[in-house]
């Protein structure tokens, strides 16, 4: 019989909720052929490490790598050390290096495992003394490290570059220099300021049309060095319009966590591949949907993903940059980690009513792989907040 819980609501009241009793969705094994489906994955903090969690980082390496094995087992690819792993929000480059090294090694133990890792400028703190040369050197160091351990590169947006660039020409200079040096094609990531306010005005303009033209110029000038571009602007029309202007060999990786079925499903003019943080949360559904698309069953693709959209829009609701809390909360509910603790104490970044609503939306989307365990874990979180 489905469990019933007392959950807090946004208006401050409590209400009884009876779980749906649905059979949890499971992904399909084997490679996905019709699209590239990458999950930007989270990290698992070590809750028992004797550190100051607001200043230092300690990971549970086994749980962190086990989650990557879970994603790979579903046919999905892994985007490592990205925004979802709290880069720029408590997880520094020094820790990311070890994560990337271990993940690349882990991928080699699983046939068919695909991954790429974020290269950024984390060690360069924006300030009046930071120069374009400093940004270039930081990018070179991180790209060089990823290549040295056998990894592929995702070129992340740079807070330092956003702070010191005088205009589009500085972006053309920096990206041109880095793309001219990389050994294999990279994925360029345009992360919008809804995810990171420090990236406002990226590509040298607050006018998104002008910013788009600068990025397109880079794509056209360095096509052979670019596998694709990940757009995280939550702007479907802009993503599709830009996708139609890409050279044929350059992929568009959707970052539209608000409407990914439309961008992935595509239209007569093409489709987007996926590099999404929400794929961490909905990995079984993403796997099942993309495998259905492989078989030409678009109706099943839409049917599986439709219930995940309200969940994704909730997890990525404003302030969007705190979506990572929902990602780790989902992993806790689903038994991928034994606790709800995060790097930097970010588990406190979402309210208890917000997390309760996420629990309901995961249940309705059949994304609680052991509903009774999830209910018990939800009760533990509620008890800490005084809801008994």
**Residue 363 placed within a domain:** no
**Residue 1 placed within a domain:** no
Q: Measure the CA–CA gap between 323 and 326, rounded to whole angstroms.
A: 5
Q: Would you state the pLDDT for residue 189?
A: 98
Per-residue pLDDT of the chain (388 residues; tens, 9 = 90+): 899 999 999 898 999 999 999 999 999 889 999 999 999 999 999 999 999 988 999 999 999 999 999 999 999 999 999 999 999 999 999 999 999 999 999 999 999 999 999 999 998 999 899 999 999 999 999 999 999 999 999 999 999 999 999 999 999 999 999 999 999 999 999 999 999 999 999 999 999 999 999 999 999 999 999 999 999 999 999 999 999 999 999 999 999 999 999 999 999 999 999 999 999 999 999 999 999 999 999 999 999 999 999 999 999 999 999 999 999 999 999 999 999 999 999 999 999 999 999 999 999 999 999 999 999 999 999 999 999 8
**Residue 351 placed within a domain:** no
117-126 burial code (b ≥16 CB/10 A, e <16)? bbbbbbebee
Q: Would you state the pLDDT for residue 388?
A: 82
**Residue 340 placed within a domain:** yes
- Helix residue spans in the chain (DSSP H): 61-73, 93-107, 132-148, 159-164, 168-179, 208-221, 236-243, 260-265, 278-281, 283-294, 298-305, 308-315, 323-333, 352-364, 371-384
Count up the domains in the chain and report the number. Answer: 1
**Residue 266 placed within a domain:** yes
Q: Could you tell me the CATH number of the domain that includes residue 105?
A: 3.20.20.70
> pTM of this prediction?
0.96
Domain interval for residue 157: 27-346
Q: Would you state the pLDDT for residue 1?
A: 83
Is 71 in a helix, a strand, or coil? Answer: helix
**Residue 194 placed within a domain:** yes
**Residue 388 placed within a domain:** no
**Residue 355 placed within a domain:** no
């Amino acid at each position: 019989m489905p469990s019933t819980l007392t959950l807090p609501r946004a208006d401050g009241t409590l209400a009884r909720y009876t779980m749906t009793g649905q059979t949890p969705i499971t992904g399909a094994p084997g490679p996905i052929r019709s699209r590239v489906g990458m999950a930007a994955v989270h990290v698992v903090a070590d809750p028992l490490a004797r550190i100051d969690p607001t200043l230092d980082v300690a990971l549970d390496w086994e749980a962190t790598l086990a989650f990557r094995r879970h994603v790979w087992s579903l046919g999905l690819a892994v985007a490592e050390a990205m925004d979802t792993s709290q880069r720029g929000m408590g997880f520094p480059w020094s820790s990311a290096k070890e994560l990337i090294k271990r993940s690349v090694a882990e991928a080699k133990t699983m046939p068919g495992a695909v991954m790429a890792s974020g290269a950024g400028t984390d060690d360069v703190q924006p300030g009046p003394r930071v120069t374009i040369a400093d940004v270039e050197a930081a990018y070179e160091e991180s790209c060089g490290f990823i290549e040295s351990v056998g990894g592929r590169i995702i070129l992340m947006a740079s807070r330092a570059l956003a702070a010191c660039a005088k205009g589009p020409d500085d972006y053309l200079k920096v990206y041109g220099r880095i793309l001219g040096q990389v050994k294999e094609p990279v994925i360029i990531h345009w992360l919008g300021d809804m995810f990171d306010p420090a990236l406002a005005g990226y590509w040298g303009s607050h006018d998104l049309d002008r910013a788009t033209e600068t990025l397109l110029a880079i794509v056209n000038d360095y096509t052979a060095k670019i596998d694709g571009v990940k757009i995280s602007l939550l702007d479907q029309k802009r993503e599709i319009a830009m996708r139609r202007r890409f050279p044929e060999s350059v992929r568009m990786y959707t970052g539209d966590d608000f409407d990914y079925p439309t961008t992935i499903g595509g239209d007569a003019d093409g489709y987007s591949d996926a590099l999404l943080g929400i794929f961490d949360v909905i990995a079984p559904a993403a796997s099942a949907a993309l495998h259905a698309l492989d078989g030409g069953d678009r109706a099943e693709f839409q049917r599986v993903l439709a219930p995940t959209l309200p969940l994704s829009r909730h997890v990525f609701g404003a302030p969007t940059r705190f979506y990572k809390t929902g990602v780790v909360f989902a992993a806790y509910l689903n038994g991928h980690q034994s606790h709800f603790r995060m790097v930097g104490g970010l588990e406190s970044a979402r309210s208890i009513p917000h997390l309760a609503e996420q629990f309901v939306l995961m249940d309705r989307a059949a994304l609680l792989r052991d509903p009774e365990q999830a209910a018990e874990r939800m009760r533990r979180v509620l008890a800490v907040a005084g809801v008994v």
